[in-house]
Structure 1
Amino acid sequence: MTSGPQDPRSASVRAGAENTAISPWASQQIHDIVDELQRMNRRKASTFSGAILEASAFNILWRLWEGPRTLRELSVELELEQSTVNRQVNAAINHGYVERFAVEGSASKLLRPTEAGYVAFQHDGELRADRLRRVFADLAPGSPEALLHELRAYNDAYDRAVRAEGL
Structure 2
Amino acid sequence: MPYGGDESVWESPVYLELAEELLRNSRRRTNVTPGAILETSAFAILWVLSDGTPRTLRELSEGLGLEQSTVNRQVNAAIKHGYLERFAVEGQLSRRIRPTAEGAEAFEHDGRLRAQRLNRVFSDLAPGTPEALLHELRAFNDAYDRTLAHQDEHAARRAQA
Both proteins in one fold, TM over 0.5: yes
Provide, for residues 58-114 of structure 1, a one-character-per-residue CA deviation record: whole Å limited to 9, x for no partner. Answer: 000101111211100111111111000000000000000000011112110000000
Name structure 1 gaps, 5 residues minimum: 1-15
TM-score normalised over the length of structure 1? 0.87
1:108 aligns with 2:86: no
The residue identity in structure 2 corresponding to 1:59 is A
Q: If you compute each CA radius of gyration, which structure gives the higher value, 1 or 2?
A: 1
The residue identity in structure 1 corresponding to 2:22 is L
Instruction: Judge conservation of contact 2:2–2:8 (CA < 8 Å) in 1.
Output: no
- Distance in 1, Cα, partners of 2:76 & 2:5: 45
The aligned counterpart of 2:60 is 74
Deviation at 1:48, TM superposition (A): 1.1
From the superposition, tell whether residues 53 and 17 of structure 1 become closer, same or farther in structure 2 (CA, over 3 Å): closer
SS in 1 for 2:93: coil
From the superposition, tell whether residues 88 and 20 of structure 1 become closer, same or farther in structure 2 (CA, over 3 Å): same
Aligned-residue RMSD, C-alpha: 1.4
- Distance in 2, Cα, partners of 1:49 & 1:161: 36
The aligned counterpart of 1:147 is 133
The aligned counterpart of 2:158 is none
The structure 2 residue matched to 1:117, chosen from 64, 86, 103, is 103
TM-score normalised over the length of structure 2? 0.90
SS in 2 for 1:111: strand
Q: Percent identity?
A: 61
Number of aligned positions between the proteins: 152
The aligned counterpart of 1:37 is 22
- Distance in 2, Cα, partners of 1:60 & 1:18: 37
The residue identity in structure 1 corresponding to 2:124 is D
Deviation at 1:26, TM superposition (A): 1.6
From the superposition, tell whether residues 27 and 87 of structure 1 become closer, same or farther in structure 2 (CA, over 3 Å): same
Instruction: Judge conservation of contact 2:60–2:71 (CA < 8 Å) in 1.
Output: yes
Name structure 2 gaps, 5 residues minimum: 154-161
The residue identity in structure 2 corresponding to 1:39 is R
- Distance in 1, Cα, partners of 2:15 & 2:47: 31
